[in-house]
Amino acid sequence: MKTRKNEIWAVGGGKGGTGKSFVISQIASYLASSGKKVILIDTDFGGANLHSFFGIESRNKTIKDFYKYDEPLESLISKTKIKNLEIIPGDINSTIFDVIKYNKKIRLFSHIKKLNADYILLDLGGGFNKNILDFFLLADKMIVVTIPEITAIENLFQFIKSTFFRKLNFLFGIYGLKDYSKNIWKNRKDHNIVTILDLIDYVKKNAGEVGDIAFKDLSKFKINIILNKVRDSSEIKEGFSLRSICIKLIGINALYSGYLEYDSHFWRNLSMTQLSPEINISLKTKKDIKRVVTNIINNTQIKTEISKNE
């Protein structure tokens, strides 16, 4: 058997309704159409909807079966209408995942790693419970999808901050400072800390050598930002702002992989009939997706464009 690249891309981003599943299904379709073998896993435990994008009706087997009945991961794979693209659907109303232990997650992850594909895409679903954060942190490429709306962006930052602190705690734990940042946050009044930014500053200044090592490790950590449902150039620009805030204020490396213009045509069609996404999207969206994927693969980002009147 041909050895495949097996790179894991996780797509998260906090709030539901930002079009994560749409974006990820487009990314998957694009990669598949360029000849890569792609497996898409819907890890949206409880609110799965990825299957809708591929017109998969019977969802007898889902990711839940891996946990509950120890079904091998391979047996959960469903074919789609698109060549090279397979999917493991998620569960619509399971609550079992709320209590997954870390080692179980690691087990699922090691099984995911063994799947035979070039790219394995994880649709993490909305929210930011520990399951989602851990999957996000274990991936080779961390991707967030958001829309240019204040509530969505607030949610995104909450997601990024949560991820950041989970990773920071994890790193501090390795170096024997478990719960260090948690405790500081608990006693934040004593340290004159009001915002999360103050906390980061405080940790940077006071955690000594361990802090230096941890933050050095964190600088390798890179988030790829995709802005969805963009309508005009000022909204396109928001992606750069998001990136800058990640870099300057949170201390996480980030790249603005690209944006997708609002595709009303697609949404209208999806609500009427559930068709394969390949047929429905506009050429513009296809181009947007191509750019996003190319940037993610190459660790690059879109170029800044400024209108003349600025």
Partner 1 sequence: MNDHDLEKYFRTLEINKDTSFTEMKNSYILLRNLYSKTDLGISPLINSLSNKRQKNIVKEIDEAFSMLEKYFNDKKMEKIKSKEEKFAKSRIPEYEVIGGEALRMTRNVLGFELEEIAFLSGVPLKHLTNIELERYDLLPPKVYIKTFLKKFAEQLSLDPNKVVNDYLKRMDDFHSKN
Which residues contribute to the site for partner 1 (CB under 8 A)?
A: 148-150, 153-154, 157, 194-197, 237-238, 240-245, 247-249, 303-306, 310
If the CB atoms of residues 32 and 302 are measured against partner 1, the closer one turns out to be 302
If the CB atoms of residues 99 and 150 are measured against partner 1, the closer one turns out to be 150
The rounded distance, in Å, linking the Cα atoms of 179 and 185 is 10
Least separation, in Å, of the C-beta of 228 and partner 1?
14
The rounded distance, in Å, linking the Cα atoms of 300 and 295 is 5
If the CB atoms of residues 272 and 306 are measured against partner 1, the closer one turns out to be 306
If the CB atoms of residues 121 and 153 are measured against partner 1, the closer one turns out to be 153
Least separation, in Å, of the C-beta of 149 and partner 1?
7
Least separation, in Å, of the C-beta of 72 and partner 1?
44
Least separation, in Å, of the C-beta of 61 and partner 1?
41
If the CB atoms of residues 62 and 301 are measured against partner 1, the closer one turns out to be 301
If the CB atoms of residues 9 and 157 are measured against partner 1, the closer one turns out to be 157
If the CB atoms of residues 195 and 264 are measured against partner 1, the closer one turns out to be 195
Least separation, in Å, of the C-beta of 240 and partner 1?
5
Least separation, in Å, of the C-beta of 224 and partner 1?
15
Least separation, in Å, of the C-beta of 241 and partner 1?
5
